[in-house]
Chains A and B, each alone.
Chain A
Amino acid sequence: MIAISLVLSCVGLWLVAVAMLKHYRQVWGGTPRQPVPTILRVAGVLVILAGASANVRAFGFAMGLVSWILCYLPACGVAVVAGLAYWPTFRARRSD
């Protein structure tokens, strides 16, 4: 359950990140048209919340929420940022 929570948190944060223009361009190229960024943001938040609830299910309410907010979400955030930092840009991938 903790692994599921971590994966969901990473996916959710990644969706929120690619909803931002800078990272959207990096991953897919071009400029997103509405409502794509909004959909990505909402989907991201929902998946993040699913990650939180998975952790709550694993640990119980207090321990699950505290450990998720203090530890797992930041760790997932750092992992997503590191992933995006080394993610090949859309242009670079197309030239390959």
Chain B
Amino acid sequence: MSWLHSWCGLVFGWLLFGILLTGSIAVFYDEITYWLTPEMRGGPLPERHQVMHLGWTYLDAKAPQSRLWKITLPTTREPFLGVSWRTAEGRTVNQRLDPETGAQIKRDSEGGSFYLKYHEGLHIDRDKNPLGLLVVGATGVAMLVACISGIIVHKRIFKDFFVLRPSASAQRSMLDLHNVLGVMALPFHLVMAYTGLVLLYWLYVPAAVQALYHGDAPKFRTEAITQEFKTVVGKPAGPAGLMGPDQVLERAELYLGPGKMAYVYVRDPHRANAMVEAYRMRDDQVSQQVNQVALNGVTGQEVRVLVKRSLPFRVQAFAAALHWVEWGGNAARWGYFLAGLISSTMVGMGLAVFVEKRARQARRPLAWLRVIGAVNVAAVGGLCVACIAYLWAERLISVSVHGRAAWSVAVFFWVWVVTAIHAGVRPSRRAWAEQFGLTAMLCLGAPFLGGLIVRDLEAADGVRVAVDLTLIGLGLVFAGMSAGLVLKRPASTVRGLKLVEA
């Protein structure tokens, strides 16, 4: 079992660290997008009717013939008006507008959703290639295996529940930290690994649908995971027309609750069969599938009501919400962020313990251990550098550059490649210290790019200042870790660790 925990943890730990770290950052992906988009304005949001009107008028002028509109109202997390429409060719156009002026926010950027894309599929386009999703799924299974085998191999789990010996040997103190972070946040590790798999059950466990429904996915969806609706009124065949945005908002919020409509789809606008589907916000319930209402686009009458959701559907929606944490506000998000960092540190410590333990036991230098040590540095330290380098790229690359979003992503991966080369050529301990030091410098410098923090403080922009301060805090932590590696007793004094230093 120890062998399984060690090797499963090592092989998948390289991937897992990145998935966990980017997942932790992605908890605040909206805030990061806002921080990376100076065109967005903070402060109090304009009145919802006014914003709805703005989006409606924009779509009416821009895409009157479209068969599908979508209007996403601004929130404190996403303070912009989102509009999208489907073109005659079937392509969907998304635009972000200033909720007060209606001016388009033209910035080619993935923003904070870059971290989300890496977290869920290693930034491989899921529509073109499911490889990223499959690899992340396999890593999730490996995380569950490592957690359970870790509980079994940790014989003194209760006796050492609160034990951390920072002044003991490097291996002992790192193992203590790995154990403490693993045990304390065990519910988080297990729930995140499991719910991550439940999110995409149809991809990860297709055998059940094959066996029980002979591959008939629509039948499976109808029977197992469907939502039951009741059609109240048939589609009208009267003259074309469309109720106004004020009416839509009022009618929708009658069903969804005041101030609770998040976004609305308008199907077949200006046609006799126009239909408006309004969806509720997810911020006050632990369920990813939220209430919705469908209205006749001409008369405003309710045409479809939710009767019931099947139990599997509700369970899946609950599990998905546990993973996505769109509920609970900033307090819950900060909790997830910290717990995610605990998970990442636990994995990073596990990787370091693997090398440290074997280096101590070795009687001669082992080349493979040197390679594993270098990969550890690249997977942990290198990814930290790359994650912050992405923010620098987003801040420094001009808005006018063609393909700007792709350039920022390229910077992330190229920086990671460079850190991997650095990890390969430098002695292990120095490579750790240098990469953590570089991460610290990038974190501490990012808020000062172009006097950003000064402007944020002057504008009293709470979200941007919070991102600035978090970066500075993380920078100080990384600086402390780097200094600790430089100042603490060199590992080469430990028998057999010279090979890591070589």
Contact = CB atoms under 8 A, between A and B. Distances in A.
Interface of A: 2, 13, 17, 20, 22-23, 58-60, 62-63, 66-67, 69-75, 77-78, 80-82, 84-86
A74 B331 CA distance: 15
Nearest to A79: B184
A82 B164 contact: yes
A69 B286 CA distance: 14
A63 B338 contact: no
Contacts of A75: 335, 338-339, 342
A2, A80, A82, A85 — most chain B CB neighbours (10 Å): A85
Contacts of B161: 17, 20
Interface in B143-177: 159, 161-166
Interface in B75-104: none
Contacts of A73: 184, 187
B69 interface: no
A81 B162 contact: yes
A74 B337 CA distance: 12
B332 interface: yes
A27 B332 CA distance: 33
The 8 A-B residue pairs with the shortest CB-CB distance, nearest first, are A71-B335, A77-B184, A74-B185, A85-B164, A17-B162, A62-B286, A71-B339, A74-B184
Nearest to B325: A67
B165, B166, B284, B332 — most chain A CB neighbours (10 Å): B332
26 contacts: A13-B162, A17-B161, A20-B159, A22-B159, A23-B162, A59-B328, A63-B327, A66-B322, A67-B331, A67-B332, A69-B187, A70-B191, A70-B339, A71-B339, A74-B185, A74-B186, A74-B187, A74-B342, A77-B184, A77-B185, A78-B185, A78-B342, A80-B162, A84-B164, A85-B165, A86-B166
Contacts, number: 78
A66 B339 CA distance: 13
B334 to A, nearest CB: 8
A63 B181 contact: no
Contacts of B286: 62-63, 66
Contacts of A62: 285-286
A67 B335 contact: yes
Contacts of A13: 162
Given A59-B332, A62-B286, A63-B327, A70 B188 contact: yes
Interface of B: 159, 161-166, 180-181, 184-188, 191, 284-286, 322, 327-328, 331-332, 335-336, 338-339, 342
A85 B120 CA distance: 36
Contacts of A80: 162
B278 to A, nearest CB: 23
Contacts of A23: 162
Nearest to B165: A85
Given A74-B184, A74-B342, A78-B184, A67 B166 contact: no
Contacts of B328: 59, 63, 67
Contacts of B327: 63
A10 to B, nearest CB: 12
Contacts of B339: 70-71, 74-75
Nearest to B186: A74
Contact of A71 (B162, B180, B336): B336
A73 B185 CA distance: 8
B159, B285, B335, B342 — most chain A CB neighbours (10 Å): B335
A72 B164 contact: no
Contacts of A69: 187
Contacts of B284: 60, 63
A27 to B, nearest CB: 11
Nearest to B191: A70
A94 to B, nearest CB: 19
A66 B318 CA distance: 11
Given A74-B185, A74-B342, A81 B180 contact: yes
A78 B332 contact: no
B162, B322, B338, B339 — most chain A CB neighbours (10 Å): B162
A2, A66, A82, A86 — most chain B CB neighbours (10 Å): A66
B184 A70 contact: no
A96 B254 CA distance: 69
A88 to B, nearest CB: 12
A70, A73, A77, A82 — most chain B CB neighbours (10 Å): A70
B342 A85 contact: no
